[in-house]
């Protein structure tokens, strides 16, 4: 199934998204060894990393009376508010220790969400859907035509990265059992979006046996 023009995108495999972190996704730590095994099978591996400043617009703590997991309207549209997470240079922003092998193999780490005025879910664009991260150009320079996605969280950063991959002209494949979701309703919405856009979903066993 795999081709030389494939790349593996490891999405936000960070401490704050795993058990004990500020924005923990249930089962997050458990997928890290699987991500390492997947990375062994790819020539091109790229990781993304949430890299926020304390004044990030998406932090509920920066809006008087706001609570996490509620939405507000900002200049670029609706924005979910989150607990403070993945602050630059903190343990929470570090990659989970159990995914070290995949990160060490990564050709590049694409940091996102460092502009305090705009949140960033996708590895390709900030949430204004206009400001690029440089990932698309990096992939094209490597001759990549298809990306496989794994990591956290399935219903946010994996979803938006996969959607933007398709919009940028790449084939996108989500390795479903190498991701974990924040909530069932948003996971269902992500799955419907993938079907509508032609994003393929597979199990890791198809790649690693």
- The set of catalytic residues is 12, 112, 157
Helices (H), 65-134: 100-105
User: How many whole angstroms separate alpha carbon 153 and alpha carbon 25?
Assistant: 7
The Cα–Cα gap between 80 and 86 comes to 16
The single-letter DSSP state of residue 96 is P
Rounded-to-integer distance, Cα 174 and Cα 148, Å:
6
User: What's the CA gap between 127 and 125, in Å, rounded?
Assistant: 6
How far lies 136's CA from each of 31, 79, 164, in Å? 26, 24, 9
């Amino acid at each position: 199934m795999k081709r030389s023009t494939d790349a593996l995108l490891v999405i936000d495999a960070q401490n704050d998204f795993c058990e004990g972190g500020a924005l923990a996704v249930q089962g997050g730590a458990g997928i890290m060894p699987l991500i390492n095994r997947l990375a062994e099978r790819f020539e091109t591996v790229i990781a993304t990393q949430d890299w926020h400043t304390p004044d990030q617009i998406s932090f509920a703590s920066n809006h008087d009376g706001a609570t996490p997991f509620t939405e507000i309207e900002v200049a670029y549209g609706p924005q979910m508010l989150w607990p403070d997470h993945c602050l630059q240079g903190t343990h929470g922003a570090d990659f989970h220790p159990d995914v070290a092998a995949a990160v060490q193999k990564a050709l590049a780490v694409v940091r996102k969400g460092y502009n305090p005025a705009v949140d960033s879910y996708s590895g390709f664009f900030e949430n204004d859907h206009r400001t690029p991260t440089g990932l698309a150009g990096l992939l094209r320079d490597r001759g990549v035509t298809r990306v496989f996605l794994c990591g956290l969280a399935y219903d946010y950063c994996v979803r938006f990265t996969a959607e933007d991959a398709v919009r940028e002209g790449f084939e996108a494949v989500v390795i479903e059992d190498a991701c974990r979701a924040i909530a069932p309703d948003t996971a269902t919405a992500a799955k419907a979006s993938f079907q509508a856009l032609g994003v393929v979903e597979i199990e890791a066993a198809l790649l690693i046996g």
